[in-house]
Chains A and B, each alone.
Chain A
Amino acid sequence: MLQRNILRQSVKGVRTFGSHGPQHGVWSNREKPAALKLKDEEVYRDLMNKIEPGKGPASIKNMSQRWSYHSPLLIDETFKVAYDLLEQESEKCYNRIDEIKKQLEQGSSADSSTASRLRDELATLEVDAEKFNPEVLYNVEYFPESVDRSLPVYRKYLERKWKEYDLPVTMQRLEQLHVIPDTMPTLDPKANVKVKFGHNTEPELAGWITPGRLLPSFAVSSPPTISVQEFDGINDKSLYSVLLVNPDTPDVPANSFKTSLHYGLCNISLNYVENTIKPLDLLLNPENRVFKEYVPLLPEKNAQVQRACLWVFRQEKELSNVQFSSDNFDIRAFAQENALTAVGAHVWRQQFDRSVNGLREKYGLEKGRVFHRVRRPYPLANHDD
C-alpha cells in the first residue's frame, strides 16, 4: 500500500491548467515530481494571481471572513517580479543539474572523487533549484505532515523546523534528566525520533509524547510506535537498532541502581519515506528483528521516578545472534560490540501508580516489592542469607 502510494506521488507530470499563473518558466514547465506542486488548484490560482477583491482567498474556509479579506496593496505586482527573478535563478540551477547528469552518465568510469564531488554538487543544486518555489513553501508551511520526504528540498525544510524546536527540547530533556551520560556518553543528533503509544485513546496521551513526560503505567502497556526521520546521508538499505533501557532499576544488594533492557530491536530497515516502526508490523513478522520483547517499565512502590531511555542506532552491518543480559545491561558495551552509532534518542518517565500491579500480572512478572520511603545508607536486604 505504502509502496503504491509513493509510486503515485512520484508520477511525473506537467501542470495541466493553462489559464492561471505564469507558464513560461522552469517552475511551471519543467517535468518534475508532482509532490513539488500544489495539490489544491484554487489555492494555486490565488497564489499565482491576484486575489479577486470580492471573492477572497480559497484558503479561508469561512465565507464571510473570505469575502471581507483585503490583500496588501501592490503585493501581486511585486510578487510577479520576485517570482520571475527567483525562477531565473532556479533555471540556472536546473541547467547545471542537466549538465552534471550528462557528465555522470558519460564518465561513469571516471575517478570516484570527481564523481562524488559532482554528486554532492547535484544534491545541493536540487535543493537550491526548488527552495524558493512558492508552491514548495506553501506545502512545507501548511502541510508539513504530508510532504514527500523523498525529495531533498522538503527534507531540508523539515530539518530546519526540527532544529528550531524539537531538537533543542529533546536535547535539553536528555541532559537535564542525565540520560546523557547515565546511558550513552553523548549524542550527535542526526534523526528526529518521535514516540507514541497507539493503544491510548485519551487525547492527552494519544499523540506524540513530549520528551521527559511523566506517563502513567497504563499508557505504556503496549509497545510504542517509533518514528525515525532521517534528513540526509542515508541509502535505502540503512538498518537501525532500537534499545529501551531503564538506568534506575533498583540494585538491592549493592544499595544502588543498574540498567535493565526493556525492549530490543535490530535490523530494522528504514528510509526517508518509510520511517515508522509499527508494533503490529513487528508482531506479524518478528524474525531476526525483535531480540527482546517489550516489557514496560513498572516501578515498584516507593521506588523513585524511573527514566525510560529510548536510543536509536544506525547499524553498520546486519546483526545476528545478539548477546545480551537484559537484567544487567551495559548499553555502552553493547553499542561498541555491535558497531552501533547513536543517531537519536527519546526519554519519558514513570512511577508507581495503581495500574502497575495489574500490568505486572498481565506481563507475568512476580508481585512487586515495596521499598522504604526513605533510602537508607546501608543495603536493604542481604542476599547471602
Chain B
Amino acid sequence: MFQQSRKVVIEQTGVIRDFIRHKRTSAISPSTQRVVNQLSAISATRKQPKLINLCNEDLIKHRTITNAWKLYNRKKNEKRMATLQKQYESIKNAMEDLKHTSPELYEAANKKETEKRFPIEMRIPTEYPPTKPWIYEYTHPSEKEK
C-alpha cells in the first residue's frame, strides 16, 4: 500500500529522496525533462549578451544619427500633413463651388454610395513583383453578354 503510493509520487514529481549508490539515470521523468528543456530555451540564463558600452565618440555618433532620424521623420510628417491639408481644402472648395454651379451635380456627388464595395482585385504592394505584374485580360460585364 505504502510502496504503491510512493511509486506514484516518484512518477509525478520525478524526485527520489532515498540514497542510491549508482548513477542516477532516471532521476527526472521524460515529461519533466521536456519541460526543463523548454524552459532552458526561453530562459535568459547564460544567454544574454554583454551590454553595449559606447565610448564618447561613438555615443556622440549615435546621438547624431538619432538626431538626424528625428529631423528626417519630422520633415516627412510635416510635408504629409501639409499635403493632406491642401487636399482637404481643395475637396471642400470644389464641393462648395459645385453647390452654386449646379445643384443637381452637387446632389449626385454627395449621394451615399451604399452598394459600393472595396474591390478585391486591388492588391497590397509586395517586396518583389509577381511573375505577371499586370492582368490585361479583363472583359467588361456588358461586353461578355455579347
Contacts and interface: CB of A to CB of B under 8 A. Distances in A.
A and B touch in the complex (CB under 8 A): yes
A294 B68 CA distance: 52
B56 A141 contact: yes
Contacts of A138: 56-57, 60
A72 B58 contact: yes
Given A78-B65, A79-B65, A89 B71 contact: yes
Interface stretch (A43-51, A98-106, A146-154, A258-266): A43-51
B40 interface: no
A57 B56 contact: yes
A89 B55 CA distance: 27
Given A85-B72, A86-B71, A132 B57 contact: no
B56 A43 contact: yes
Contacts of B72: 85
A72 B60 contact: no
Contacts of A43: 56-57
A76 B61 contact: yes
Main secondary structure on chain B at its contact with chain A?
helix
Nearest to B55: A57
A142 B58 CA distance: 13
Contacts of A72: 52, 54, 58, 62
B12 interface: no
Contacts of B88: none
A51 B57 contact: yes
Interface residues of A, number: 28
Interface string B43-61: 0000000001011111111
A204 B71 CA distance: 43
Nearest to A75: B61
A137 B63 contact: yes
Contacts of A89: 71
A88 to B, nearest CB: 10
Contacts of B68: 81-83, 85-86, 132
B61 A85 contact: no
A383 B63 CA distance: 69
A63 interface: no
B64 interface: yes
A79 B64 contact: yes
Nearest to A136: B60
A222 interface: no
Contact of B58 (A75, A81, A83, A137): A75
B67 interface: yes
Contacts of A46: 57
A85 B52 CA distance: 26
Nearest to B68: A82
Interface in B76-92: none
Nearest to A65: B55
Interface size class of B (residues with CB under 8 A): 10 to 19
Interface SS majority for chain A: helix
Contact of A134 (B55, B61, B69, B71): B61
Contacts of A141: 56, 59-60
A352 interface: no
A328 interface: no
B71 A132 contact: yes
A71 interface: yes
Contacts of A134: 60-61, 63-64
A74 B60 CA distance: 15
A47 B69 CA distance: 19
Interface string A193-218: 00000000000000000000000000
A51 B58 contact: yes
A243 B90 CA distance: 63
Contacts of B55: 51, 56-57, 59-60, 69, 71
Contacts of B61: 47, 75-76, 79, 134
Contact of B57 (A57, A83, A85, A86): A57
Contacts of B62: 72, 75
Counting chain A CB atoms within 10 Å of each CB, the highest count among B52, B59, B62, B67 belongs to B67
Nearest to A44: B57
A384 to B, nearest CB: 71
A126 B119 CA distance: 53
Contacts of A56: 55
A83 B62 CA distance: 11
B101 to A, nearest CB: 43
A42 B144 CA distance: 78
Nearest to A74: B65
Interface string A18-60: 0000000000000000000000000100110001000011111
Given A82-B69, A86-B68, 6 more contacts: A57-B55, A57-B56, A72-B62, A83-B68, A134-B61, A138-B60
18 contacts: A43-B57, A57-B55, A59-B55, A59-B57, A72-B52, A72-B58, A75-B62, A79-B61, A82-B64, A82-B65, A83-B64, A85-B71, A89-B71, A132-B64, A132-B68, A134-B63, A137-B64, A142-B56
